[in-house]
Chains A and B, each alone.
Chain A
Amino acid sequence: MTSLAPLSAEISTMPPRAAAEQASSARVGNVADGFVPNVNGAVRAARARGAAASARVINYQRHNDTAFTSPVEMESGSEARIASMPRKLPHANRTTGATLQALQQWEGYVVDVHQDEFTARLTDLTAAASHEEEEALIPMTEVADNDAELAVLGGVFRWVIGYERSPSGTKKRVSQIVFRRLPAMTQDDIEKGKAWARKILQSPGF
Chain B
Amino acid sequence: MGAQDSAVARFLENGGRCPPGRDELEFTLIGPGYGESVILHVGNGSWVLVDSCIDAEQEPCALTYLNGIGVDPARDVCMVVASHWHDDHIRGMARLVEACGSAKFCCASALCKEEFLTVVGTLQNRPLTAASSGVRELHRVFSRLAETGRHCTFASVNRKVFSRGECDVWSLSPSDRAFETFLKSIGDLLPAVGQAKRRSLDVFPNKAAVALWIQVADTAVLLGSDVEKKDWKEIANNTERPQKKALVFKVPHHGSANAHEPSIWKGMLIADPVAALTPWRRGGRTLPKRSDIARLVSCTEYAYATSRNETPAAPGRRRDKVVERTIRESGIQLRKTGMPDGGIRLRRPAGPKRDWVVELFGSAYRLSTA
Contact = CB atoms under 8 A, between A and B. Distances in A.
Given A133-B316, A134-B334, A56 B130 contact: no
A193 B122 contact: yes
Interface of A: 9-14, 16, 19, 56, 58, 67, 69, 103-104, 107, 109, 111-112, 119, 121-125, 127, 130-139, 141-142, 152-156, 161, 173, 175, 180-187, 189-190, 192-201, 203-206
B114 interface: yes
A192 B121 contact: yes
Contacts of A19: 130
Interface string B110-151: 001010011111111111111110000000001101111111
Contacts of A138: 332
Given A133-B337, A161-B326, A185-B190, A124 B317 contact: yes
Interface of B: 54, 58, 91, 112, 114, 117-132, 142-143, 145-152, 190-201, 203, 282-284, 316-317, 319-323, 326-327, 329-338
Contacts of A9: 126-128
Contact of B128 (A12, A131, A206): A12
B331 A127 contact: no
A194 B121 CA distance: 7
A107 B130 CA distance: 7
Given A136-B334, A137-B332, A190-B193, A155 B198 contact: yes
A172 to B, nearest CB: 11
A124 B323 CA distance: 13
Contacts of A194: 114, 118, 121-122
B370 to A, nearest CB: 23
Interface of A is mostly: mixed
Nearest to B318: A127
Residue in A13, A135, A186 with the greatest tally of chain B CB atoms within 10 Å: A135
B334 A189 contact: no
A149 B333 CA distance: 21
Contact of B130 (A16, A182, A187, A201): A16
A131 B203 contact: no
A139 B191 CA distance: 27
Nearest to B194: A184
A9 to B, nearest CB: 5
Contact of B194 (A142, A185, A203): A185
A125 B131 CA distance: 9
A204 B332 contact: no
A192 B125 CA distance: 7
B229 to A, nearest CB: 23
Nearest to A183: B197
A58 to B, nearest CB: 8
Contacts of A185: 122, 190-197
A109 B143 contact: no
A103 B326 CA distance: 11
Contact of B131 (A14, A109, A192): A109
A152 B326 contact: no
Given A119-B284, A136-B334, A137-B332, 19 more contacts: A13-B127, A14-B130, A119-B283, A125-B130, A135-B337, A142-B332, A154-B198, A185-B195, A193-B123, A194-B114, A195-B121, A196-B117, A200-B142, A201-B112, A203-B147, A204-B149, A205-B145, A205-B149, A206-B112
The 3 closest A-B pairs by CB, nearest first: A154-B198, A193-B122, A196-B121
B117 A139 contact: no
A142 B330 contact: yes
Contacts of B128: 9, 12, 156, 180, 182
B124, B146, B152: residue with the most chain A Cβ atoms closer than 10 Å: B146
Taking each of B130, B132, B148, B320, which has the highest tally of chain A beta carbons within 10 Å of its own beta carbon?
Answer: B130
Given A56-B326, A182-B198, A190-B122, A203 B131 contact: no
A14 B91 CA distance: 18
Contacts of B332: 136-139, 142, 175
Contacts of A204: 149
A135 B283 contact: yes
Given A132-B131, A153-B201, A183-B196, A127 B333 contact: no
A154 B199 contact: yes
A156 B199 CA distance: 7
A175 B127 contact: no
B145 A134 contact: no
A197 B193 contact: no
30 contacts: A19-B130, A58-B329, A104-B319, A107-B130, A107-B131, A109-B131, A111-B201, A121-B131, A123-B129, A133-B336, A139-B331, A142-B332, A155-B198, A156-B128, A156-B129, A161-B322, A161-B327, A175-B330, A185-B194, A189-B125, A193-B117, A194-B118, A194-B121, A196-B124, A197-B114, A199-B146, A200-B143, A201-B112, A201-B117, A205-B146
Contacts of B148: 205
A205 B54 contact: no
A131 to B, nearest CB: 5
Contact of B326 (A153, A175, A198): A175
Contacts of B329: 56, 58, 175
